[in-house]
């Protein structure tokens, strides 16, 4: 028998395998709108219930002045000028008026210096975009476990489709889902009165999607790598549950890192969730600081590139029967 | 032209350093042949297929498909072969048609070609009516036919069938056999299949290897194997109640005699048709009368029994195998 050297892996064939698998994932996703609904319920609850009830600006509300009995201030005139006899009275309404405007200024200043915006709802709504992206990306590992259990993975592995295409189709699918779900959250936030900064534009929206794409790519690669050998979805559930809450709370998704204790700030400064959340806020509700934004994107790009490379390399070795 | 399409040399798979699933097996499969690996559950058939289809790496030994090493040229081998695994692997949420097109994509077949082939295969497998139905509504037989269709999308030169009729009822099973026979004729494929159904191996396979505890016990055509145990089974019933065991034993061809009850004897012998008149004559000469005599040909069951010393048994298996088989069976019975 004559041995002919076979044409190596053709890029076109590989791309077709990738698109085929991605198409499958998206078809499955679109056929089950209930899953989409379930996935976004939690972030929406946080945004609507927590974001609206946690009215931090209200703490400094001048309305409290009405509940305090503020007396007139009487100063002996000689204190100011020895020539003045008698007592100078400053009526309490003048004092209240002054305090009222000062308190408002303090409230605004405190909110802006801590949160960067004047209302907590806007701050949290953007954090919830990070949250939905975390949920969607961490759960991508589950699908590989199901594919394995239901035999589908076996078939895919027996075909010439590159192992990397299997992983990348799931990563890409997670990113597309995240972007779609984030759009719903953002739409709802606009409806509920999120305040965009003056620098927000349509171009910023594209950058928002890019940030979500990068973050989701990195995170889903990581969780797919965890799932490569797994046959039990319970294990995956446990891993997802173990990671999501700490990921959220050690970042700036709910509260700014600058009011955190030092050790927590340290964790937050390496947590990728902080970087995507900051990038999203820079692009939407903050006056964009381009240097910070650039740093965020450098971090997110490195995060996505490193973890997807790791995922692909691990899939060559560990994505087997 | 006969040439060896599949060459297996000392193929061995050891799991977790001590579980020997496949133990130095060697065999060749010729072009256009249907070759069967016959053995009980857990004998190592699926592991062998997994190694030949590049899904598992052998611990030892080599195997070639159309001259390509299954380890060194895995991606070439994957292109040349088709697999119909034991489990149902189609995506339940997609339609039958979508599943076949997806298989085409996985092989990198251009969409216009795979669309044409999908229709052709759906027609061949008589699934056209259900082409746009979700696979979760399919019956076991339909799922198996869909798996066959998926396995053929890349026009494989060599087709691997792992337990193609597992869990199917008798009627569906013989329908699947017909499809397999038709495939062989229409596409002139070489087929390697595993089965633990004796009658399946007997009716489909040109040659069979009996495999047990990871080793090949014997290889040959079904007829050769049956001949090799060299005996027909004859039941002789005589009128009289005396013991004639010794008379029977002295007759030519007779190998073994067992008295079942007063008047009935089970005789193992070579060439029963020729021996039958001799037996009748001999007994008559001694004054005994044969009132009934029946000959049965050996079945592969008996071949298996003879070569392994045991009947086909269900052995303990890995949790995963049992799990996946259970899923397959559950879906098949829908």
Does residue B161 sit in the same domain as residue B290?
no
Q: Domain containing B236 — which CATH number?
A: 3.30.70.100
Residue in B with minimal Cα distance to A9: B75
* Inter-residue contact B282 to B251 (CB < 8 Å): yes
Spatial strand order of the sheet with B19-30 comes to: B19-30, B4-15, B60-65, B68-69
- Reported as a pLDDT band with limits 50, 70 and 90, residue A6 is very low
Test A3 with B68 for CB contact under 8 angstroms: yes
Contacts of B54 in chain A (CB under 8 A): 158
Write out residues 62-101 of B within 8 Å (CB-CB) of A.
66-68, 73, 75-76, 78-79, 83, 85, 87-94, 98, 101
Q: Closest approach of chain A CAs to the CA of B55, in angstroms? A: 6
Contacts of B150 in chain A (CB under 8 A): 155
Does B52 reside within a domain?
Answer: yes
d(CA B95, CA A75): 89
Test B67 with A151 for CB contact under 8 angstroms: no
Does residue B25 sit in the same domain as residue B73?
yes
B47 and chain A in contact, CB less than 8 A: no
* Inter-residue contact A219 to A137 (CB < 8 Å): yes
Reported pTM: 0.81
Q: Among B75, B93, B327, whose Cβ lies nearest the Cβ of A31?
A: B93
Q: Given this model, what pLDDT does residue A1 score?
A: 37
Q: Alpha helices of chain B — where are they, by DSSP H?
A: 45-52, 74-80, 96-106, 111-124, 140-151, 170-187, 198-204, 222-228, 245-250, 272-285, 300-308, 319-332
Q: Closest approach of chain A CAs to the CA of B39, in angstroms? A: 22
Does B327 reside within a domain?
Answer: yes
Test B103 with A13 for CB contact under 8 angstroms: no
Find, among A32, A257, A301, A261, the residue nearest to A146 by Cα. A32
Residue in A with minimal Cα distance to B68: A3
Domain that holds residue B68: 4-226+310-332
**Is residue A298 over pLDDT 80?**
yes
Sign (positive/negative) of CA torsion B89, B91, B95, B100? negative
Strand pairing category for B190-195 and B158-162: parallel
- A109's tokens: 């200043």
pLDDT in tens, B36-67: 998 887 888 989 999 999 988 999 999 999 99
Find, among A184, A47, A40, the residue nearest to A125 by Cα. A47
Does B116 reside within a domain?
Answer: yes
Q: Closest approach of chain A CAs to the CA of B275, in angstroms? A: 48
| Segments of chain B with pLDDT less than 50 | 1, 313-318
- How far CA B278 is from CA of A29, B137, B237, B288, B291, in Å, comes to 75, 60, 15, 13, 15
Which residue carries 């590139």 as its tokens?
Answer: A305
Does residue B246 sit in the same domain as residue B179?
no
Does residue B160 sit in the same domain as residue B117?
yes
ipTM over 0.90: no
Q: Given this model, what pLDDT does residue B327 score?
A: 66
Write out residues 229-248 of A within 8 Å (CB-CB) of B.
231
Q: Given this model, what pLDDT does residue A285 score?
A: 94
Measured between its terminal Cα atoms, the distance across chain B in Å is 44
Does residue B253 sit in the same domain as residue B156?
no
Write out residues 29-48 of A within 8 Å (CB-CB) of B.
31-32
Q: Among A1, A151, A157, whose Cβ lies nearest the Cβ of B324?
A: A151
**Is residue A53 over pLDDT 90?**
no
A5 and chain B in contact, CB less than 8 A: no
3-state secondary structure of B66: coil
d(CA A212, CA A210): 5
The mean pLDDT value of chain A amounts to 89
Does residue B261 sit in the same domain as residue B207?
no
Does residue B18 sit in the same domain as residue B99?
yes
Test B55 with A158 for CB contact under 8 angstroms: yes
A13 and chain B in contact, CB less than 8 A: yes
Q: Given this model, what pLDDT does residue B329 score?
A: 63
The winner for highest mean pLDDT among A46-50, A117-121, A266-270 is A266-270
Q: Among B93, B107, B111, whose Cβ lies nearest the Cβ of A28?
A: B93
Count of beta carbons in the 10 Å neighbourhood of residue B230: 14
Average pLDDT over residues A102-108: 86
**Is residue A3 over pLDDT 60?**
no
B84, B105, B166, B331: best to mutate for the A interface, most A CBs within 10 A: B105
Contacts of B79 in chain A (CB under 8 A): 6, 160
Q: Given this model, what pLDDT does residue B297 score?
A: 80
- Torsion angle, CA of A209/A211/A217/A223, rounded to 10 degrees? -110
Write out residues 13-42 of B within 8 Å (CB-CB) of A.
none
Find, among A309, A290, A297, the residue nearest to A272 by Cα. A297
Q: Closest approach of chain B CAs to the CA of A29, in angstroms? A: 10
Does B303 reside within a domain?
Answer: no
Does residue B207 sit in the same domain as residue B327?
yes
A93 and chain B in contact, CB less than 8 A: no
Contacts of B103 in chain A (CB under 8 A): 155, 159
A187 and chain B in contact, CB less than 8 A: no
**Is residue A312 over pLDDT 70?**
yes
Q: Given this model, what pLDDT does residue A2 score?
A: 38
Q: What percent of chain A shows pLDDT beyond 70?
A: 97
Length of chain B: 334
Sign (positive/negative) of CA torsion A190, A269, A309, A148? negative
Q: Domain containing B52 — which CATH number?
A: 3.40.50.300
| DSSP calls for A27-50 | HHHHH-HHHHHHHHHHHHHIIIII
How far from the centroid of its chain's Cα atoms is residue A134's Cα?
Answer: 7
Count of beta carbons in the 10 Å neighbourhood of residue B158: 21
Q: Closest approach of chain A CAs to the CA of B310, in angstroms? A: 31
Contacts of B154 in chain A (CB under 8 A): 159
Q: Among A16, A28, A160, whose Cβ lies nearest the Cβ of B75?
A: A160
Q: How many domains does chain B have?
A: 2
Test A160 with B324 for CB contact under 8 angstroms: no
Does B304 reside within a domain?
Answer: no
d(CA A208, CA A293): 11
Test A154 with B89 for CB contact under 8 angstroms: yes
Q: Given this model, what pLDDT does residue B250 score?
A: 85
pLDDT in tens, A62-76: 777 778 888 888 888
B7 and chain A in contact, CB less than 8 A: no
Contacts of A23 in chain B (CB under 8 A): 102, 105
**Is residue A207 over pLDDT 70?**
yes
A4, A14, A20, A316: best to mutate for the B interface, most B CBs within 10 A: A20
Which residue carries 């189709």 as its tokens?
Answer: A169
Does residue B234 sit in the same domain as residue B210?
no
Does B31 reside within a domain?
Answer: yes
A159, A164, A173: best to mutate for the B interface, most B CBs within 10 A: A159
Does B323 reside within a domain?
Answer: yes
Test A154 with B85 for CB contact under 8 angstroms: yes
Does residue B242 sit in the same domain as residue B151?
no
A158, A166, A173: best to mutate for the B interface, most B CBs within 10 A: A158
Q: Given this model, what pLDDT does residue A5 score?
A: 41
Does residue B285 sit in the same domain as residue B314?
no
Strand pairing category for B190-195 and B34-38: parallel
- How far CA A225 is from CA of A132, A222, A230, A319, B332, in Å, comes to 20, 5, 10, 9, 32
Does B302 reside within a domain?
Answer: no
pLDDT in tens, B155-166: 899 999 998 888
* Inter-residue contact B208 to B221 (CB < 8 Å): yes
Does residue B126 sit in the same domain as residue B235?
no
Q: Closest approach of chain A CAs to the CA of B79, in angstroms? A: 6
Test A155 with B83 for CB contact under 8 angstroms: yes
Q: Given this model, what pLDDT does residue B314 score?
A: 44
């Amino acid at each position: 028998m004559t041995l002919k050297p076979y044409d190596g892996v053709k890029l076109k064939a590989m791309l077709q395998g990738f698109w085929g698998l991605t198409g499958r994932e998206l078809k499955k996703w679109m056929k089950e709108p209930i899953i989409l609904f379930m996935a976004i319920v939690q972030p929406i609850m946080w945004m609507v219930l927590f974001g609206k009830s946690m009215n931090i600006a209200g703490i400094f509300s001048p309305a409290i002045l009405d509940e305090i009995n503020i007396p007139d201030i009487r100063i002996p005139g000689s204190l100011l000028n020895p020539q003045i006899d008698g007592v100078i009275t400053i009526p309490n309404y003048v004092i209240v008026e002054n305090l009222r405007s000062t308190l408002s200024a303090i409230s605004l200043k405190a909110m802006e210096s801590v949160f960067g915006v004047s209302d907590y709802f806007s701050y949290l709504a953007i954090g919830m975009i990070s949250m939905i992206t975390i949920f969607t990306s961490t759960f991508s590992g589950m699908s590989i476990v199901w594919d394995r259990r239901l035999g589908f993975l076996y078939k895919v592995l027996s075909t010439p489709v590159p192992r990397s295409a299997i992983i990348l189709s799931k990563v890409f699918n997670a990113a597309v889902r995240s972007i779609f779900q984030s759009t719903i959250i953002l739409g709802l936030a606009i409806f509920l009165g999120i305040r965009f900064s003056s620098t927000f534009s349509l171009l910023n929206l594209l950058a928002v999607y890019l940030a979500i794409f990068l973050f989701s790519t990195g995170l889903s690669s990581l969780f797919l790598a965890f799932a490569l050998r797994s046959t039990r979805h319970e294990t995956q559930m446990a891993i997802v549950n173990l990671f999501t809450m700490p990921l959220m709370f050690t970042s700036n998704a709910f509260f700014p890192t600058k009011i955190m204790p030092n050790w927590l700030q340290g964790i937050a400064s390496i947590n990728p969730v902080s970087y995507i959340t900051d990038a999203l806020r820079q692009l939407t509700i903050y006056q964009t600081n381009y240097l910070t934004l650039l740093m965020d994107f450098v971090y997110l790009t490195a995060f996505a590139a490193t973890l997807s490379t790791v995922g692909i390399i691990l899939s060559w070795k560990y994505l087997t029967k | 032209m006969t040439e060896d399409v599949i060459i297996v040399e000392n193929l061995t798979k050891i799991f977790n350093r001590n579980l020997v699933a496949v133990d130095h097996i060697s065999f060749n499969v010729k072009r256009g042949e249907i070759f069967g690996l016959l053995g009980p559950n857990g004998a190592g058939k699926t592991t062998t297929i997994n190694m030949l289809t590049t899904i598992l790496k052998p611990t030892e030994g080599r195997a070639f498909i159309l001259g390509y090493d299954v380890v060194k040229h895995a991606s070439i081998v994957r292109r040349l072969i088709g697999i119909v695994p034991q489990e149902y692997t189609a995506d339940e949420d997609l339609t039958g048609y979508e599943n076949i097109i997806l298989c085409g994509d996985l092989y990198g077949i251009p969409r216009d070609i795979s669309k044409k082939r999908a229709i052709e295969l759906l027609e061949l497998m008589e699934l056209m009516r259900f082409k746009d139905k979700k696979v979760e509504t399919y019956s076991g037989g339909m799922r198996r036919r869909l798996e066959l269709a998926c396995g053929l999308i890349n026009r494989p030169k060599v087709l691997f069938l792992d337990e193609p009729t597992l869990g199917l009822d008798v009627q569906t099973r013989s329908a699947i056999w017909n499809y397999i026979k038709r495939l062989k004729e229409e596409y002139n494929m070489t087929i390697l299949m595993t089965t633990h159904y004796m009658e399946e191996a007997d009716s489909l396979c040109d040659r069979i290897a009996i495999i047990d505890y990871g080793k090949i016990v014997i290889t040959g055509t079904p007829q050769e194997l049956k001949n090799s145990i060299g005996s027909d089974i004859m039941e002789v019933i005589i009128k009289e109640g005396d013991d004639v065991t010794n008379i029977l034993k002295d007759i030519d061809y007779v190998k073994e005699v067992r008295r079942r009850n007063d008047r009935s004897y089970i005789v193992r012998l070579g060439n029963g048709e020729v021996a039958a008149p001799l037996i009748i004559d001999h007994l008559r000469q001694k004054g005994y009368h044969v009132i009934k005599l029946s000959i049965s040909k050996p079945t592969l069951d008996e071949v298996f029994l003879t070569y392994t010393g045991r009947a086909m048994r269900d052995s303990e298996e890995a949790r995963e195998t049992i799990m996946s088989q259970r899923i397959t069976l559950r879906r098949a019975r829908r």
